[in-house]
Amino acid sequence: AYRNIFVFDQLDSTNLEVRRQLKTGINDVLVIAEEQTEGRGRRGRQWESPYATNIYLSVSWPVTQGMAQLEGLSLSVGLAVYRTLQPYLQTNLGLKWPNDVLIGHKKVAGILIELLGDPADSFYAVIGIGININLKANQLKVDSPWTSLALETGKCTDRNELIVSLVRHLQEILKQQSAEGFASMRKEWEQVHLWQNKMVSLSFTEHEIVGKVLGVSPKGELELLVGDEQKNFAGGELTLRLQ
């Protein structure tokens, strides 16, 4: 269990709040907000965070075994979100490398992991999770396809119930991540990867690479078959290639 749990009506961002707590020496923190005014997404994007409809949650995680402890972390956190949502959805729920949670081709949850402190000394990962729960179709103006649990199931879900389950799954996954690493979850992850064996393009700032998804490595890298060669990638933005 977390020693310090904070629930806010409104915050700039739960990730920022965990950082502030850590800076004042408070660790073992879990922060939840009803609304975020500066919800942050990956790659400097914004995360739409309207009031009392979704889950915005961040936790601190001490990194005590060096950078190796972080290998595949964003994938394993995705698995925790997957396990949380799975009982509510019969079909189409899956993950997209590295850490999007999708229903069909629409995003239902996102994960943002940031590091705080000195990697040579003691440092923390701040793990932020946003899940669209009771959002309605016309509530967001986001250019990429998104959905919510309510839109997919036709029902409202109690967010408290979901948070309890999410925290339980997250703690379980983080324990496994530090004890055995992502390698021990790799097969389960590949089973829920929506784009396993699919042709994809992986884009970087200046170029893109087309290949077939073979799976993920023990470190959480994407394994692509490019031509007749296997290549592993730690970064890049994945899109499905229509064929």
Q: Which amino acid is at 124?
A: Y
Q: What is the DSSP letter of 208?
A: E
Q: Active-site residue 42, yes or no?
A: yes
**83 is a site residue for ligand BTN (CB under 6 A):** no
Q: Active-site residue 107, yes or no?
A: yes
Q: How far does Cα 142 stand from its chain's mean position?
A: 18
- Which CB sits closer to ligand BTN, 146 or 229? 146
**182 is a site residue for ligand BTN (CB under 6 A):** no
Q: List the one residue from 19, 21, 30, 40 that touches ligand BTN (CB under 6 A).
A: 40
Binding mask 85-124 for ligand BTN (x = CB under 6 A): ---------------x---------xxx------------
**50 is a site residue for ligand BTN (CB under 6 A):** no
**167 is a site residue for ligand BTN (CB under 6 A):** no
**130 is a site residue for ligand BTN (CB under 6 A):** yes
Q: What is the DSSP letter of 18?
A: H
Q: Active-site residue 19, yes or no?
A: no
Transcribe 140-169 into DSSP letters: ---SS-B--HHHHHSS---HHHHHHHHHHH
Task: Spot the catalytic one: 42, 106, 212, 231.
Answer: 42
- Which CB sits closer to ligand BTN, 37 or 65? 37
In sequence order, which ranges of the chain are alpha helices (DSSP H)? Answer: 14-23, 73-85, 149-153, 159-180, 186-192
Q: List the one residue from 21, 53, 58, 147 that touches ligand BTN (CB under 6 A).
A: 58
Q: Which amino acid is at 184?
A: S
Q: Describe the strand order of the beta sheet including 229-233 as a list of residue ranges.
A: 229-233, 222-226, 208-216, 199-203, 237-240
CA–CA separation, 227 and 230 (whole Å): 8
Q: What is the DSSP letter of 221?
A: P
41 is in an annotated binding site: yes
Binding-site residue set: 13-15, 36, 40-42, 107
Chain positions contacting ligand BTN, by CB under 6 A: 13-15, 36, 39-42, 45, 47, 56-58, 100, 110-112, 128-130
- Residues with catalytic annotation? 42, 107, 241
